[in-house]
Structure 1
């Protein structure tokens, strides 16, 4: 059989110089040989180890082993089981099954999430408190678990804040249905209610704390350390006192106002670095409001991201100091939750 795509070689064959990704043509050419015109391979015919059929600099094509999964293939061929979603998206979310031909991308494409017809947006959800009822900013444990189950069951990939940063900087592609979870203030209910549910689903989340609240009604340092040990909970800054930084106090001079803003920006990062030994890269503005002066101080204190509470998703070209977050309210139901998960912006 003559292959028209010189960028791809069969396993064990001499390697030609790559000339582009033609895996679809290769796959169509190989299928009759591999499958014998059958509709599929039975489990008993699947190899014990995933067999490399062909590869080039951009793709590897394998026949899945009896126990292969997208995670195991990602660990073997990409070096990171957490990159399984790249394989799933490349194969149009077709499940990995014994004997099935699977395309594994070796290089990320479309890191910006921009296509001719739409732009990928990453929604960031904003929670506050958790309790025994659904009311305003309070979410019941039952409702929160329902929402997390919805994310899992509908193919959403909860990514950490660092992955969003890399997406904004053009360094990393994120899943098509990526979503970021954040929780503001640092209330005790985060540890008692939200954390066990997040741990159950394996979802990372960022908690934005205002530092004067820690240990005085809010989370304690032992709780923060415990939540941070498994790598799911990331602690970032939400000011010192939760004051509205857009508003000057009665009789406050401009110089005093600027000094107060600087204190509200600097204090939480200093405390977090002292007690939690965590890189502080993000700041959630109290009440979601900001201005040029606050953003200037964020840059001076090495913050890389600033979050408002303006609803909507974030594109790869969003301004990193005015990122959007959608507030999740306890009394608005699942329809509002689903609406907050919109992850495309069509042209």
Structure 2
């Protein structure tokens, strides 16, 4: 188990009346001082699928917005190092990341970033590079990014749904397959680019607790696709990033996310919704979590929580003495990936505390997503 995982996060699994409750405890570190946002991109193009694309015009607006709002752009590896060490960061730092090694990162995004002298990180799925998939950079092109401010990191070999077990696959076989998916790309990055950054991005942002344990065992810091600001108090096997493509490319809404601060969370208790692996069965239609904040004068009356594809969720059991509340979906959540996003205005005008809880729910056939 990695030092930072045991230092910053503990998992306690308790059974009450036959119901599994997962309690995530966070340390009371300075959230404001060590707040940083990470932006997630894929294609920078107006000819690729919209859901994973940010147009060059939108990307230019994003970069200008970062500058206009006084943010420093740091390499992801530097941010992680500061957070692991508990070193104070400036109050406005952001990181630019790309998944999947698309060629538009080289041809379109890199010149725009290089002009500003801003670093960035590309998470590479190595099979697509080896097989020379369309719109994917070659190893030579990826290697060239390192002279232009780019970092290269691990996104698995095949970009598969890693939390999914194959039919007839034992847990031991799955664990070995996951090790292979990560270590193959680790070796290829070392071989072709000499990059050895211990940073990993989950394909599709999907993970469960056994996969997080593997990430920790192999010495990686893991990143998902749930939103929120980074802080030293979070779980370093499942750090958040803000997607900035498709509907999330709107500069007006992205500005609020860019300026977000970590929610001052003391604990998150899953009342209904997850099994021992951290997955959600089809039988669970409306998951429920209790969030407890660190002691402080927080603006609970202005708290808002949103459910993927639904709008606002129900906020109940607000306890102002203990700074706690319960969040539940109003309607059945979708199968596959969904999120509860909670925000609360900070004392610093124009900035919001943000927390996102990711759900990965089985469908009626007992299967996880395949797209």
TM > 0.5 fold call: yes
**Aligned counterpart in structure 2 of residue 255 of structure 1, from 156, 169, 172:** 172
Q: Deviations over 1:128-147 (max 9, x none)?
A: 11112592211111110111
Q: Which moved more, 1:294-303 or 1:322-331?
A: 294-303
| Secondary structure of 1:323's aligned partner | coil
In structure 2, what is the equivalent of residue 206 of structure 1?
121
Q: Distance in 2 between matches of 1:290 and 1:282?
A: 15
Q: 1:197 corresponds to which residue? A: 112
Indicate which of 77, 99, 102 corresponds to 1:187.
102
Query: 1:236 offset after TM fit, Å?
Result: 0.1
1:149–1:113: structure 2 CA closer, same or farther, 3 Å change rule?
farther
**Structural mapping, 1:58-97, within 5 Å:** none
CA RMSD of aligned residues (A): 2.0
Partner of 1:337: 254
- Give the C-alpha shift of residue 119 in structure 1: 5.9
Deviations 1:99-135 (A, max 9, x none): xxxxxxxxxxxxx9827xx564211111111112592
1:128 paired residue number: 42
Is residue 148–residue 201 contact of structure 1 (8 Å, CA) maintained in 2?
A: no
Higher share of residues assigned helix = 1
* Residue number in structure 1 paired with 2:323: none
Q: C-alpha separation between the residues in 2 aligned to 1:299 and 1:344?
A: 25
CA distance in 2, matches of 1:285, 1:141: 25
Bigger relative contact order (CA 8 A; separation at least 6): 2
Instruction: Please report how far the alpha carbon of residue 295 of structure 1 lies from its aligned counterpart in structure 2 after TM superposition.
Output: 2.4
Question: 1:1-347 maps to which residues of 2 (within 5 A)?
Answer: 114=30, 118=32, 120-132=34-46, 135-215=50-130, 216-217=132-133, 218-230=136-148, 232-303=149-220, 305-332=221-248, 333-345=250-262, 347=298
* Distance in 2 separating the partners of 1:211 and 1:142: 29
Q: Is the 8 A contact 2:72 2:92 kept in 1?
A: yes
Kindly indicate whether the alpha-carbon contact (under 8 Å) linking 2:159 and 2:203 is maintained by their aligned counterparts in 1.
yes
Q: Distance in 1 between matches of 2:178 and 2:77?
A: 25
Q: Is the 8 A contact 1:126 1:326 kept in 2?
A: yes
Deviation by residue 1:205-247 (Cα, 9 ceiling, x = unmatched): 11001110114121112211221114x1000000110111111
Stretches of structure 1 lacking an aligned partner (at least 5 in a row): 1-111
Structure-2 change in CA distance of 1:247 and 1:202 (3 Å): same
- Cα deviation per residue 1:287-309 (whole Å; 9 max; x = unaligned)? 11112322232233332x10011
Contact 1:209–1:239 under 8 Å retained in 2? yes
Instruction: Choose between structure 1 and 2: higher strand proportion.
Output: 2
Given that residues 40 and 242 in structure 2 are in contact (C-alpha distance below 8 angstroms), is that contact kept between their aligned partners in structure 1? yes
Moved over 4 A (4+): none
2:349 alignment counterpart: none
Name the CA distance, whole Å, in 1 between partners of 2:212 and 2:188.
20
In structure 1, the partner of 2:358 is none
Q: Name which of structure 1's ranges 190-199 and 170-179 shifts more when overlaid on structure 2.
A: 170-179
Question: SS where residue 44 of structure 2 aligns?
Answer: strand
Give the equivalent residue in structure 2 for 1:29.
none
Structure 1 SS opposite 2:99 = strand
Residue of structure 2 in register with 1:107 after alignment: none
User: Conserved in 1, the CA contact under 8 Å of 2:42 and 2:99?
Assistant: yes
Superposition deviation, residue 331 in structure 1:
3.3
TM-score when scaled to structure 1? 0.63
Alignment TM-score, normalising by the size of structure 2: 0.59
Query: Counterpart of 1:81?
Result: none
Offset at residue 183 of structure 1 (A): 0.4
- In structure 2, distance between residues paired with 1:252 and 1:206: 34
Structure 2 unaligned regions, length at least 5: 1-27, 265-297, 299-371
- In 1, distance between residues paired with 2:213 and 2:184? 16
Residue 250 of structure 1: how far off its partner (Å): 2.2
2:222 is paired with a residue whose SS is: strand
